[in-house]
Amino acid sequence: MFEYDLDYIDNDIGNTPGKSYTDCCGICHTWSGCRSFSWSSHNGGTCWLKSARGQTQYKKGVVSSKLLDNPPPSCTLEPNKDYVNYDIGNVPGGKPEDCCDKCRAKNGCHAFSWSNHNYGTCWLKSTKGSTINKSGVTSAVVY
């Protein structure tokens, strides 16, 4: 349920670009500890991620929401897809499935792209970002 013109004013755990408030839903699900968010048009659209709903205040144009449930851990592989940008590091990974746990173990990792570079590399990402078709690359959002 979205709350229009209402800002959740505390419990910030991070912020990231989001073109619309609907983007923030998926981002919050992939962000460790995120339970709610407020979206504003700041800098072309920003998701302000929160650990809880907390205090609120009226703010024209802001859209906020609280997540109802944490999704079960998930890591659905997307073959021949590359998530571009938002790299936060890389680690060896012999196969794409290895990257799921490696991402979960890295603070701030919410997605990855795997390639056969150096016999298998997990390119860890802070968020999914844009997706392009790329043969031999497998990517996933990690919940």
pLDDT tens sequence across 40-84: 999 999 999 999 998 999 999 999 999 876 555 668 899 999 999
CA 82 – CA 60 distance, rounded (Å): 37
Query: Which regions of the chain carry the CATH code 3.50.4.10?
Result: 2-66, 78-141
> What is the CATH number assigned to the segment(s) 78-141?
3.50.4.10
Question: Is the pTM for the entire model greater than 0.85?
Answer: no
Check residue 33 and give its pLDDT: 85
Q: How confident is the model at residue 31 (pLDDT cuts 50, 70, 90)?
A: confident
% the chain with pLDDT above 70:
96
> What is the CATH number assigned to the segment(s) 2-66?
3.50.4.10
Check residue 71 and give its pLDDT: 52
DSSP-derived secondary structure letter, 70: P
Scanning the chain, the segments in alpha helix (DSSP H) are 21-30, 96-105
Residue 53 burial (CB count, 10 A): 18
Check residue 73 and give its pLDDT: 62
Q: For 103-114, what is each residue's pLDDT tens digit?
A: 989 999 999 999
